[in-house]
Amino acid sequence: KSIDQYTQEEAAIAAQALRQSLATYSDAYYTKDAPVVEDHVYDEAYQDLEQLEAVFPAIVTNDSPTQKVGGDVLPGFKKVTHTVPMLSMGDVFSPEELAAFDDRLRRNTAQAIEYNVELKIDGLAIDLIYDQGQFVRGATRGNGTIGEDITQNLKTIKAIPMTLTKPVSIEVRGECFMPKASFADLNQQREADGLAPFANPRNAAAGSLRQLDAKVAESRNLSAFMYTIVTFDDVQATTQAQALTVLAELGFNVNPTATVCQDMTEVQAFIDRYQTTRDDLAYGIDGIVLKVNDLALQRQLGNTVKIPRWEIAYKFPPEEAATVVREIEWTI
Ligand code: NAD
């Protein structure tokens, strides 16, 4: 039966079953870097849970995956408390849902909205801190509040500058990823050594960064694109597009495809372009990210407990979509 025919008690039971499945998937994905299901299976179970919790708000629990970010922090690493929480991101899976996000923003905002549209790099979020131009600390997102100190591993990545072009003190964020070529080499080597191959470049990157031996991380040929400035004390930018320019000027690797779009027709053109050419890129992407370009408006829109209200990911359909039969995760 459909969700609106459920009693609250039935909804609570179904939600608990979904939370249990999602917790198992997340533990495998975030903590062990070895997913047990494809992303779309996770996403569909997550959406079912979101729907149940939307219809029956009383069944939401504090530990529901809809209320928290990421996974656990691995023992063995020094813990880092983020100055500003590292959040997750809302996502949509169809052009109609993306248009609804845009409509909602435009209805709730007095000023004109333009978007900075970026590729959604399939890696893991990293946070870098520089003191007067010198790299001092790098961390994973972890559970959003507490991450893992992976400074030594990040020092082995050529795309991460140890010294900036200006002696600024700045905190920045971006995505660490394993280029497709490095991933292919790594899995070939692992199979030759009788080791299990990594499921995908994202998990390979996460597994490589969370190694206690920096030599292993070094051998994995990781790269990174930076896309967020957390602290603007020493630099000037009023839009996300300007922030990307500042990051590039400071010596960070910045993805060159970002485009400012005035409306959804322009956004759709960006999506069409990269949905058809994603295989030609040297790194994996799993969608695009729409960000309100004006940083003051971003701050005004703010965040929920889990996601910023000023950005959304449009996820590409899974590549094998045609052959995938939706699994029913829960039944009453
Ligand atoms: P997410 O990875 O879908 O989106 C948020 C992240 O996008 C950010 O933290 C950042 O790291 C990244 N990102 C990449 N490019 C970006 C850009 N240009 N600008 C800003 N951010 C950018 O969200 P999440 O909360 O980390 O994870 C949820 C997703 O993880 C799910 O949708 C699912 O697909 C996957 N997942 C899969 C499993 C599984 O078992 N297969 C388990 C858990 C989660």
Render 33-99 in DSSP notation, one character per residue: S--SS-HHHHHHHHHHHHHHHHH-GGG--TT-GGGS-S-PPPTTSPEEE-SS------EE-SHHHHH
Residue 291, annotated ligand binder?
yes
Q: Where in the chain is the domain with CATH 1.10.287.610?
A: 1-67
- Is the shortest distance between the CB of 50 and ligand 1 below 6 Å? no
Quick one: angle between helices 201-209 and 180-192, nearest 10?
A: 80
What pLDDT, on the 0 to 100 scale, is given for residue 2?
Answer: 85
- Is the shortest distance between the CB of 173 and ligand 1 below 6 Å? no
ipTM of the prediction: 0.97
Cα–Cα distances (Å) from 159 to 179, 226, 274, in that order, read 12, 10, 23
Sign (positive/negative) of CA torsion 325, 326, 330, 332?
negative
Average pLDDT over residues 27-37: 92
DSSP 8-state class, residue 162: S
| DSSP per-residue string spanning 94-140 | SHHHHHHHHHHHHHH-SS---EEEEEEESSEEEEEEEETTEEEEEEE
Q: Whose CA is nearest to atom 43 of ligand 1?
A: 26
What pLDDT, on the 0 to 100 scale, is given for residue 318?
Answer: 76
pTM (two decimals): 0.93
Average pLDDT over residues 244-263: 98
The one-letter amino acid code at 113 reads: I
CATH architecture of 68-323: 2-Layer Sandwich (3.30)
Active-site annotation holds for 120:
yes
- Is the shortest distance between the CB of 33 and ligand 1 below 6 Å? no
What pLDDT, on the 0 to 100 scale, is given for residue 326?
Answer: 38
Distance separating alpha carbons of residues 156 and 149, to the nearest angstrom: 14
40 Cα nearest atom in ligand 1: 34
Q: Where in the chain is the domain with CATH 3.30.470.30?
A: 68-323
120 Cα nearest atom in ligand 1: 15
Q: How many CB atoms lie within 10 A of CB 123?
A: 27
List, for residues 76-123, the tens digit of each pLDDT value. 899 999 999 999 999 999 999 999 999 999 999 988 899 999 999 999
Q: Whose CA is nearest to atom 21 of ligand 1?
A: 120
Q: How confident is the prediction for the chain on average, in pLDDT? A: 93
- Is the shortest distance between the CB of 59 and ligand 1 below 6 Å? no
CATH top class, domain 1-67: mainly alpha
Residue 43, annotated ligand binder?
yes
Choosing from 1, 79, 120, 158, the catalytic residue is: 120
